[in-house]
Amino acid sequence: MRQGPEIWIRGPVALPEPAPPEPAHARASARRFSWVGLHGGAGVSTLAAVYGGHDGGRTWPGPADPRSVLLVARTHAAGLDAVVPAVEMFRRGDAPKGLDLDAVVLVADAPGRLPRPLAHRVRLIESVIDVYRVPWVNEWRLGDLGDRPPRETEPLARLTGAMR
């Protein structure tokens, strides 16, 4: 009958050396984002208030602002038209140096489902970059930003660290 190899250790077994303490600056911190609107009324201020981060309005982040960018557009035709050229700016290297495009956030322009032509355009955008969708939230329209973000936006809340 064949048995596996036997391992014998002679003498005391040394305990492993303790690892040096981790420097304070090496601890991971929540990633911060700059919200950048691709057109007026995209919802940047509301998203920054609900999910945290820098409200960049329609301008690129400055040197002291977070370098990770979330581009924001509404789901109407003009909003979707603005997305691809902005994504292309990053792809070509024409965006300001040091900025990282993390994703596109599409905010519903009305309650209900998107018309087919607009839904098709969203799928095209999703084929080239990560897209987070934010549904129509009536309370936000009325200025009530106090409740939890909509359940449908949990992936966006995880990305931005806004999970409560």
Is the pLDDT at 82 greater than 60, yes or no? yes
Query: Which pTM does this prediction carry?
Result: 0.80
Q: Which two tokens stand for residue 37?
A: 């609107």
Q: What is the pLDDT of residue 161?
A: 87
In the predicted model, what is the mean pLDDT of residues 90-114? 96
The Cα–Cα gap between 38 and 71 comes to 7
SS3 category, 100:
strand
Q: What is the pLDDT of residue 28?
A: 42
Query: Taking Cα atoms as reference points, which of 99, 162, 88, 163 lies closest to residue 128?
Result: 88
In the predicted model, what is the mean pLDDT of residues 90-103? 95
* 131, containing H or E segment: strand 131-134
The domains located in the chain, with CATH, are 31-160 (3.40.50)
Q: What is the pLDDT of residue 54?
A: 96
Q: Which two tokens stand for residue 14?
A: 């040394």
Q: What is the pLDDT of residue 146?
A: 81
Using alpha carbons only, give the angle 161, 30, 152 rounded to the nearest 5 degrees: 15
Q: What is the pLDDT of residue 42?
A: 96
Contact by Cβ (8 Å): 31, 161: yes
